[in-house]
Structures are given as C-alpha cells and as structure tokens.
A and B are shown apart, each in its own frame.
Chain A
C-alpha cells in the first residue's frame, strides 16, 4: 500500500484555519458544495428570465442577512489575523467589513424602496458594482499576499492600529457612498457621472466578472489551507450571482433573485464553516491542553520518578550489604572474633541481596505485566497523541517534526500507557540528542507495515548519532551517555517492546543522527 505522506512542522500551522492544510474529507466537501452550486446555477438557466414580480421584503432581508454574515465573517477573520499577523488575512477581513458596510447604503438606495428615479437607479447600480468590486479586490489581495514569508508578518504591536485603520477606511468609504446616494439625485453635476455609468454598464459587468475570475484562479492556484478552499466557494457564489445578473439584465425575474440567493448561500456556508471549524479547533485545543498537563504529570510520575524510585529502592539493600559487610569484618577483626554478630550480619547481607533480587523481579513484572491492560490500538494514533503531548517541548527546543505515517498499518495489541512511554522516551532522547545541534533539528517519525505481520515505527533525529563502539550496549540498564539520568530509559523501552513480543533496535541515519525503531506484531482480527 502506498504511504500517505503527511509532512509538516507541528506548530500553529496545524491549529489555525488560515494555515491548516485541508483534509481529504474537507476537500471533497468543498468540491461537493461547488458542484451543487453549479448544478443549481445550471438548473436555473432555462428560467432566468421568467418574471417573479416585486417582492418588497427581498432587498431589506437580503441586505440585513449579508450585513450580519459579512460582519461576523470579518470579525472571525480579524481574530485569525491578530494571531498570525498575515497581511492577507487583514485584506480579506477588510473585504468582508467593506461588504458589510456597503449593504447599508446599497439597500437604502434601492429604487423601489424609496421611489424609482434615474438617479436612485444609477446610484444603486453603481453601489452594487462598487460593493462587488471592493469585495473581489480584497480576495485578489488575499490571494496575492497569502504566501508572504512569515518574516514579513507585521509586528504584534501595530495590530490594534491596523484593525482601527481597516475599520476607519471602510467607514470613510461608507460615508462617501451615503453622501453620494443622498445628494447626487439633487445635484445636477452628478448627472454626467450617472450617464457615464449607464453607458458603461456592460464594461462594469465585464470588469467585475474578470476580477472575480482572476480572484478564483489565483485562489485556486495558491490554495493551501482550509480557509482558501472556502474562500473559493465564496468567490464561486459571487461569480454565479454576477453571471445571472449579467445574463438577465433586469429586475424581478428568477435569475435576479436566484443569483443573490446563491451568493447568500455561499457566504452563509463560508461563515458556518468558519464558525464550526473554529469551535472544533477550540475543542481540540482544549483537549490537547488538558491531555498535555495530564501527560506531564504522568510522565513525571513515570520515567523520572520511576528511575529515582528504582535508584532509591536499589540503594537501600546495597547500602545495607556494604555496611553489614564492614560490620562483619570488624566483629571478626576483634581480639576475640564475635561469631554471633558475624552470623547476624551475614543474615542481613543475604536478606538484602534477596530484596534486591525481588526488586529487580518486580521491575520486570511491572514492565511485562501481561494481558490486563492490553487492547487493540493504532500506533499512528499513539504517535499523534505523543507528538501533541510533547508539542510544547518540541517547539521550545525549536525542533521541527516530520512525520510520515502509513495509515494502512494494521492495529497492534498492547498496553497504551507502556507504548506511549516508549514513544515519549524515544522522542525525548532524540530531542536531547539534538540539543547541541548546529544543523537543523529535525525529528522524523515514520510508521510502516513490516514484513510479514508486523508494524514498524521509527524515530530519527539529526543529532550526533551513536558511537558504533557503544551501539550494542545502549540498551543495557544503567548505560548512559547523558550527564544526568539513570540510564534506565532505553532498557525499560526494550523491556516493554520485548514484553509485547516486539523488537527495538537502533541504526545510524544516512544523513547523520540515529534511528530508533521498533516492530510490533500486528493484531490480525480473528
């Protein structure tokens, strides 16, 4: 089976809509929406010129809906911008804000609402075009700016200023439009303008269509994130509206209503998706924060404390043996050796030795504890969990993560906590190995099917690698190359993996660094 490569650094990119790469399901959903919109458009085509009549409530309702939808979308996008500081997001958010404020004068100048005159008709037409033009231009701006290098992001401090600037800009435009709308019918000087506009109607429509197409093409060719996909849907909805309006050329026919309805539907969808994705991401973040703190505690309780605890428990019988031995030799060394004391001391030594033996036995038993906590589990899920848990450490140490997970690998039967512990340990080791790195710190995690019935997971680092002279000793308990640590980590990892009938091995990476990999038998369903 071909591996579905999922490569990327684990950072804010995987959290924010503006940068989150879409999943296959999301792509399919967007495609379905576009196809449905297109099908609806085609279905409308034969009836576009069928008259419907004037529906008084339509324009106010439509304008109100667009105002609300656009303002909320704009606010959501502003929030995204305030987090990632991509100018593209400011552009698109500004576009939606512009769209929201434009609906007000647009609805107010609607000819049949306040009496039809040449002036109101012209103003309304002009406002329609301006609205769509500004909206489309913001999309083009977004598409052009979206691949800006992260280093060109605007500094955090100026964010509020920019937000204010965007809002103020939109309001100034609104003022001018309102001024135009209310005064131009009374001002003779506006007449030539409106006549000019009347004559250039078809050019306006053509230019708008062209801009919308440009925006669509740009968005399509540069699509990378979930947001990109839904902006394509929004543009597509606008394109349909423009096509229908250009086609019918007059009011109150099916096409005139349908066009606006499609644009409204596509805009609502974009907002709904933004909202639902934001809520989903929030839930995912909340979960991961909880899991992270829980794992942190668990990890402290396990590896570090476990090692310390083993050391403590082991040192007790050792100390007793040493002290008893010295006591015994002192009793023996007396002018009249005290045999009873020596016997008592030897008894102590024997008991302490047994205790050390039992301690080791219990460590083995703990690691090998069979059956009880074993369940079917997907190693890819486990890898993702552990990466999410260690995300903050990885980020703090500026380590980028590349993972290549074969989603077709069979499940394994294992103890989730123990296997998680192995992964945490291997990744922590890799992280520590790269601490002194001058070259890029890259953690590569791979999963694959291992012949004939096994699942392989490997953890590779770009650290200094392992000296071949000690490679065969690193799994020995108490062997360590670190200045701190008990050297129990890898020994316990190997013990856990072998307790699962698997193998843990180490090799050198082609480009330097080391690769730890384990293979577990696949759990073939009965």
Chain B
C-alpha cells in the first residue's frame, strides 16, 4: 500500500526525503541569520515545507530554528526564547493543537501560528479559541504568514 491514511503512516517519498536531508540544514539559509534578531521556531515533519518556511522567514531578517516534531521542540532551549512559533498540525507524536495546549498548560505564552494541509473547521475554531495567532491552510499565501509573524514580534513574547 503506497497511500495510507496520513495519521498512521507516511507517504514513502516523505520518508526518503527525511533520510536524505538533515533537519538542521536547508540549503544556504544557515549562514544568513542575524545574531540578535528575534527567534522564530518552525515545526513541520515535512522537510520541503519546513525548509521553504525557513527560507522565507530568514529572508525577513529573523533567526529561525526548525524542528521535525513537537517533542524535539519541547526538548530544545528554543522553548524559552521563541518570539513566534509556527507549527504544522498533523505530525507524528504530538499534534500542533496538542502542543499548543501543552504550552498553555506550562504557561509558555508565545504567539502560535498553526498551519495544516488538512483544514477542519472544528480544529480551527478550537485553536483560535485557545489563543492561536493564526490558522493557515496549506498552501497559504506567504504574505499572510509574514503579516502574522510581524504581528507576533510586535506583541513580543508574553512571558
């Protein structure tokens, strides 16, 4: 079976890409980051999307930390210095919405932007009610993401 429900197994190509690319390196974006800029954390299990977002956000002159899973992010020091978190919703392990709830429970009040390739009205409402800054459906307009990030930085981390 090549195609299976997305929440149990992953498309084989994704796995191949995952094996080929390193989560910490996406092309050349690495060296372009300014040392004192606010940190934007991006969590997405899809490598191409994670790198694309990293490139876009870096082009704004911001520092970007990327993670493949919510767990990876939670273990990292970025939990404490992130100015804005961009996270995918459907991921192996914790979902974006679960991560949002967990951060709330741990009183880490950072602005959160959720992105998903499988939008669902109920999920969107829940996320917004829980205080998400935005909820974007893939593919989204980059300008929307940029606006949300700018808004997040203007507000600053709440803790």
Interface residues, chain A, with chain B CB atoms under 8 Å away? 301, 305-306, 308-313, 315-324, 326-328, 330-331, 334, 338, 340-341, 343-345, 347-348, 351-352, 355, 358-359, 362-363, 365-366
Contacts and interface: CB of A to CB of B under 8 A. Distances in A.
Interface string B3-34: 11110000101100100000000111100100
Contacts of A308: 5-6, 118
B90 to A, nearest CB: 7
Contacts of A362: 2-3
Given A316-B48, A365-B2, A322 B55 contact: no
B28 A344 contact: yes
Nearest to A338: B32
B51 A310 contact: no
B51 to A, nearest CB: 6
5 contacts: A312-B6, A318-B139, A341-B29, A345-B55, A355-B48
Given A319-B139, A362-B2, 18 more contacts: A301-B5, A306-B3, A308-B118, A309-B5, A312-B6, A312-B118, A316-B46, A319-B52, A319-B117, A322-B141, A326-B143, A327-B59, A328-B55, A334-B59, A341-B27, A341-B55, A344-B27, A358-B13
B126 interface: no
Contacts of B143: 326
Contact of B52 (A315, A327, A358): A327
B133 interface: no
Contacts, number: 130
Contacts of A310: 3
A316 B117 CA distance: 6
A41 B155 CA distance: 102
Nearest to A301: B5
A61 B62 CA distance: 100
A428 B28 CA distance: 51
B103 interface: no
Given A341-B29, A341-B32, A348 B52 contact: yes
A352 B48 contact: yes
A330 B59 contact: yes
A355 B13 contact: yes
B52 A366 contact: no
Contacts of A351: 17, 48
B56 A327 contact: yes
A305 B4 CA distance: 8
A320 B2 contact: no
Contacts of B43: none
Contacts of B115: 319
Q: Which of A305, A326, A340, A359 has the most CB of B within 10 A?
A: A326
Contacts of A338: 28, 32
A316 B55 CA distance: 16
Interface string B138-156: 1111110100000000000
B40 interface: no
Contacts of A352: 48, 52
B132 interface: no
B53 interface: yes
Interface string B47-66: 01101110110111000000
Nearest to A331: B59
Interface in B53-91: 53, 55-56, 58-60, 90
A138 to B, nearest CB: 58
Interface in B106-135: 115, 117-118
Contact of B55 (A313, A321, A327, A355): A327
Nearest to A328: B55
A362 B1 CA distance: 10
Given A308-B118, A312-B118, A319-B138, A348 B51 contact: yes
Contacts of B137: 315
B52 A320 contact: yes
A327 B5 contact: no
Contacts of B118: 308, 311-312, 315
Contacts of B58: 327, 341
A359 B11 contact: yes
Contacts of B11: 313, 359
B55 A318 contact: no
A316 B3 contact: no
Contacts of A330: 56, 59-60
A334 B61 CA distance: 11
Q: 8 closest A-B pairs (Cβ-Cβ)?
A: A344-B27, A319-B138, A326-B142, A315-B117, A319-B139, A323-B52, A327-B56, A327-B55
Contacts of A326: 56, 142-143
Nearest to B31: A340
Nearest to A308: B118
B27 A348 contact: yes
A369 to B, nearest CB: 9
A316 B26 contact: no
Contacts of A305: 5
Contacts of B46: 316, 320
Nearest to A330: B59
A138 B56 CA distance: 86
B55 A348 contact: yes
Contact of A340 (B28, B49, B60, B117): B28
Contacts of A315: 117-118, 137-139
